[in-house]
Amino acid sequence: MVTAAVDEAPGGVPVIAPTGYGTATAIELARARNARAPPGCCCCRRT
C-alpha cells in the first residue's frame, strides 16, 4: 500500500508511512520505506 502511494504521489509530495509491530519490525519497515522515498514514518505504540 505504501509503495503504491509513493509511486502515485506527485514529485515532492511527502508520504507518511505507518510502522509498528514491535521495535525490530518498525525499524525494518522504516528503513525499507525510506529507501524508496524521503523519510516520513508515523510510529505508534499500543497501550
pLDDT digits (tens, 9 = 90+) for 15-27: 777 777 788 888 8
CA angle 11, 6, 13 (to 5 degrees): 35
Instruction: Give the residues of the chain that fall short of pLDDT 70.
Output: 36-41, 45-47
* Per-residue pLDDT at 38: 59
Residues 6+ apart with CB under 8 A from 19: 25, 26, 27, 29, 30, 33, 41, 42, 43
Overall pTM > 0.75? no
Cα separation, 17 vs 1, whole angstroms: 9
Cα separation, 24 vs 42, whole angstroms: 15
